[in-house]
Structure 1
Amino acid sequence: MKLLSQDQALSRLSLKNPIHFLALGFGSGLAAKAPGTFGTLAAIPVYLLLAQLPLAWYLAATLVCVIAGIYICDKAANDMGVHDHGAIVWDEVAGLLITMIAAPAGILWLAVGFALFRLFDILKPWPIRWLDAKVEGGFGIMIDDVLAGVFALICLQVIVVISQ
């Protein structure tokens, strides 16, 4: 892809386009600082809505978010002309949904899940960092956050078990 400035890349997107709107995390990815954190914050209402569903439906909706995210992120990245631009935060939405699978209800558990997901997404321990560097396209944009979500999910569930 051609090297573009951040502003040039963003100017190629429109919040009126439903794919761009989702890729930008309902606009949260446009935050000047820490767009990934704002994208994860934007995922909270999505999680709260889906958390009302039975677990099987929650899992199905999360899977749809992940699979659709491959297309959404790929399309936005191609339209921007930049691979994995920081404003593309749909992967954070999917990552938080994964983190919160079967989490107990309550603000405390949501805060712990949020913090764990952000920790793994920022630190990118192996193999997350390797995947982030080596895998291209929409799948590449999504896979590091999916794996960060899985790591955070495991840690959250361990904390839940220990706290009982």
Structure 2
Amino acid sequence: MQKIVRCLATFFYIGYLPKMPGTYASFIGILIYFFIRNSFSAYLIVCALLAIIGFWTGTRAKKMFGEKDSRLIVIDEVCGMVLCFFLISASFTKLLLGFALFRIFDIIKPFPANIVQRLKGSPGIMGDDIIAALYTNLALRVFMAVFGDF
């Protein structure tokens, strides 16, 4: 069971990359979105699966790695990145902007992500990234309202 948790929580061992595993995992999230972007049902299924896997592995991985939000755990970044583009038809420009915004929101953790991150186990691990995804989605919508569909 530990091997399964380790594999899924690190998103197939991306979390073990020596530098910027969260950034690489976010990039994988964009690739996943790119391949499912034309099927809303596939998008919903993938989002649900990533969230379920993230919540299922979060607390288990935390105990296994011995840290509250270990940098090895990157399933939350993958899930968050895919969630960023909910009901947004993402062009290459929007994908790049969404990627940058998500990483910024995930790193600076604006309210309430800074509070949610303190929750124990899976809710704290997954929650701040879900909030970062929500902020990213809203920011993309503001950009589209101001600059049109770019």
SS of 1:113's equivalent?
Answer: helix
Q: How big is the shift at 1:22?
A: 2.0
CA distance in 1, matches of 2:13, 2:42: 26
2:48 to 43, 54, 63: 63
Of 41-50 and 81-90, more deviation after overlay is shown by 41-50
CA distance in 1, matches of 2:146, 2:44: 24
Q: Does residue 155 of structure 1 match 2:129?
A: no
Q: How big is the shift at 1:145?
A: 0.5
Mapping 1:138-153, distance limit 5 Å? 138-153=122-137
Q: How big is the shift at 1:57?
A: 4.0
Q: Does residue 132 of structure 1 match 2:103?
A: no
Q: How big is the shift at 1:151?
A: 0.7
Tell me the TM-score normalized by structure 1: 0.81
Q: How big is the shift at 1:23?
A: 1.0
Q: How big is the shift at 1:122?
A: 0.6
Change (3 A) 1:18 1:38: same
Runs in 1 of length 4+ with deviation above 3 angstroms? none
The answer to whether the Cα contact below 8 Å between 1:28 and 1:42 also exists between their aligned partners in 2 is no
Mapping 1:14-53, distance limit 5 Å? 17-53=3-39
SS of 2:117's equivalent?
Answer: helix
Mapping 1:100-139, distance limit 5 Å? 100-133=85-118, 135-139=119-123
Contiguous gaps of at least 5 residues in structure 2: none
CA distance in 1, matches of 2:61, 2:76: 12
Tell me the TM-score normalized by structure 2: 0.88
Change (3 A) 1:20 1:94: same
1:83 aligns to what? 68
Q: How big is the shift at 1:32?
A: 1.7
The answer to whether the Cα contact below 8 Å between 2:14 and 2:21 also exists between their aligned partners in 1 is yes
Overall identity of the aligned pairs, in %: 31
